[in-house]
A and B are shown apart, each in its own frame.
Chain A
Amino acid sequence: MLEARLEQASILKKVVDAIKDLVQDCNFDCNDSGIALQAMDNSHVALVSMMLKSDTFSPFRCDRNIALGINLNSFQKVLRCAQNEDILTLKADDSPDVVSLVFESSEQDRISEYDIKLMDIDQEHLGIPDTEYAATITMPSGEFQRICRDLSALSESVAIEAEKNAVKFVCNGDIGNGAISLRNHSSVEKPEQNVNIELSEPVALTFSLKYLVNFCKASGLSGSVKLCLSNEVPLLVEYELASNSYLRFYLAPKIGD
């Protein structure tokens, strides 16, 4: 059986809020290492990969591999019934028909119990190769969100061009063009504003802004975001969570003919 207790319901609320417009029905794969999810959007252009390691929970117990097939719209409806600061416990049997959620208020003596009916989901699972990326950019997640939002008003696509010490986001649209450049920036006083660009070779790739704007819904999960790029491979957008857990998005590039 599965029993996983989260100190704060907000983590799961934010994860589901961030991915539910991209993927609808997903298997949450539970085993002794934690709870994982991999799902592609309908067009097979973007992929969500979530890992909540067992250390994220306290306690965490899962004796067997259990796949919880959940409709994210339903999941969100139930998670909205939890206060951000509530303690959240997920429970399921070994061959479950439902997943149970218990929300406990740390301040009040209130316990809320919900069940969500599970579904059988036959999901395509992609093998993602370990990649040494040519460019890794770490930047404030809010900054990345703003860039994507601003440029999406002008164009459907953005070119991300990484070169030594600088990364440039460029778009060309019907009404005009836009370009935002960021340089390596490190401040002891405001480390949350740091920008770090690691580069082994220059990279230039074009991506759909519609998907990037969607990924940025995860900005509330982490103050910083990591963009990993190599020429001719999908972009990795990673939000790191506590205890080595993560929410990752992959996006296939737009490629010239």
Chain B
Amino acid sequence: PPKQATLGKFFGLQ
């Protein structure tokens, strides 16, 4: 089954 990604994978820390 597909796995839950986290937002850090897409959005950079500021």
Q: Which A residues are closer than 8 A to B by beta carbons? A: 40, 43-47, 124-129, 157, 206, 208, 233-234, 250, 252-257
| B6: chain A residues within 8 A (beta carbon) | 43-45, 252
Question: In the complex, are the beta carbons of A126 and B4 less than 8 A apart?
Answer: no
Partner of A257, one of B3, B10, B14: B3
Minimum Cβ distance to chain A for residue B11 (Å): 4
Whole-angstrom CA separation of A129 from B9 in the bound complex: 13
Q: A43-B6, A253-B2 are in contact. List 7 more A-B contacts (CB 8 A).
A: A45-B4, A124-B13, A125-B13, A125-B14, A252-B6, A255-B2, A256-B3
| A43: chain B residues within 8 A (beta carbon) | 6
Question: In the complex, are the beta carbons of B3 and A234 less than 8 A apart?
Answer: no
Q: Which residue of A lies closest to B11 (CB)?
A: A126
Q: A126-B12, A126-B13 given as contacts; is B7 within 8 A of A250 (CB)?
A: yes
Partner of B14, one of A40, A45, A127, A250: A127
Question: In the complex, are the beta carbons of A127 and B12 less than 8 A apart?
Answer: yes
Main secondary structure of the interface of A (DSSP, over half): loop
Minimum Cβ distance to chain B for residue A251 (Å): 8
| A253: chain B residues within 8 A (beta carbon) | 2, 5
Question: In the complex, are the beta carbons of B10 and A252 less than 8 A apart?
Answer: yes
Minimum Cβ distance to chain B for residue A127 (Å): 5
Find the residue from A46, A208, A253 having the highest chain B CB count within 10 A.
A253
| A47: chain B residues within 8 A (beta carbon) | 7, 11
Partner of A40, one of B2, B4, B7: B7
| A255: chain B residues within 8 A (beta carbon) | 2-3, 5
Minimum Cβ distance to chain A for residue B2 (Å): 4
Whole-angstrom CA separation of A208 from B3 in the bound complex: 10
Find the residue from B1, B2, B4, B6 having the highest chain A CB count within 10 A.
B4
Question: In the complex, are the beta carbons of B13 and A45 less than 8 A apart?
Answer: no
Q: 26 A-B Cβ contacts within 8 A?
A: A40-B7, A43-B6, A44-B6, A44-B7, A47-B7, A124-B13, A125-B13, A125-B14, A126-B11, A126-B12, A127-B11, A127-B12, A157-B2, A206-B2, A250-B7, A252-B5, A252-B6, A252-B7, A253-B2, A254-B1, A254-B2, A254-B3, A254-B4, A254-B5, A255-B3, A257-B2
